[in-house]
Every structure is written in C-alpha cells, then in structure tokens.
C-alpha cells in the first residue's frame, strides 16, 4: 500500500460556490463512478475526501501505485484547471515511530 495526500486550493473567485463553470465541473466529478475512474489511474482505494469550503482547500487520501498517474487524473479530470494541486507521499504515524526506533539500534 502506498498512501498519497492530494492537497488542493483555489482562489475565492474560482470557487465552485462562486464560479458556475467550476460548479458544473465539480457536480460532474461528484457523479462519476469513482471505482471505474480509479482503476484507470491505478488508484487502489480512496481512503477519504475532505473539503473545507470556506478555506477553499481540499485533502484526498488515496492508496495508489503511481503519483504521476494521480497527477494525470487531476489534470484530465479537471480538478487542476482551477486548483493548485500538491501530491504528497504519506506514512502512517506508527510506521514513523518504528522507523525512528530502528535508527537508534
């Protein structure tokens, strides 16, 4: 399992709340069959999708095989057309502790 955080943010005027073009795109994205979409981009599972409307930010956590394919999904899916997107490898806290303990040995 390889976990990645997909962080995004947009400006207030690009927000789907304020921008009808982006609103239509987000509604379309929300209605997609994500299992089919994910398999095309080697995303094994969506762990969670979190949004903060008034902060104009989002965080999706996915189990995926290739961050370059996550980037491709963001571009082809339209999310990157009005959001800054950052893809970050993640590790569970427990595994960080184990890694640190090994450093002391």
- Residue by residue, pLDDT tens for the chain (105 residues) are 799 999 999 999 999 999 999 999 999 988 988 888 899 999 999 999 999 999 999 999 999 999 999 999 999 989 999 999 999 999 999 999 999 999 987
Cβ-Cβ contacts under 8 Å for 26 (sequence gap 6 or more): 16
pTM: 0.86
Whether 7 and 52 have beta carbons less than 8 Å apart is answered as no
**Around Cβ 92, how many Cβ atoms within 10 Å?**
10
């Amino acid at each position: 399992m390889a976990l990645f955080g997909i962080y995004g943010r947009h400006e207030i005027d690009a927000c789907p709340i304020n921008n009808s073009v982006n609103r239509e795109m987000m509604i379309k994205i929300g209605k997609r069959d994500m299992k089919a979409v994910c398999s095309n981009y080697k995303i094994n599972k969506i762990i969670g999708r979190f949004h903060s409307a008034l902060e104009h930010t989002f965080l999706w956590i996915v189990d995926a095989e290739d961050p370059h394919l996550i980037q491709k999904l963001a571009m082809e899916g339209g999310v990157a057309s009005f959001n800054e997107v950052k893809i970050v490898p993640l590790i569970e806290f427990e595994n960080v502790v184990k890694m640190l303990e090994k450093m002391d040995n």
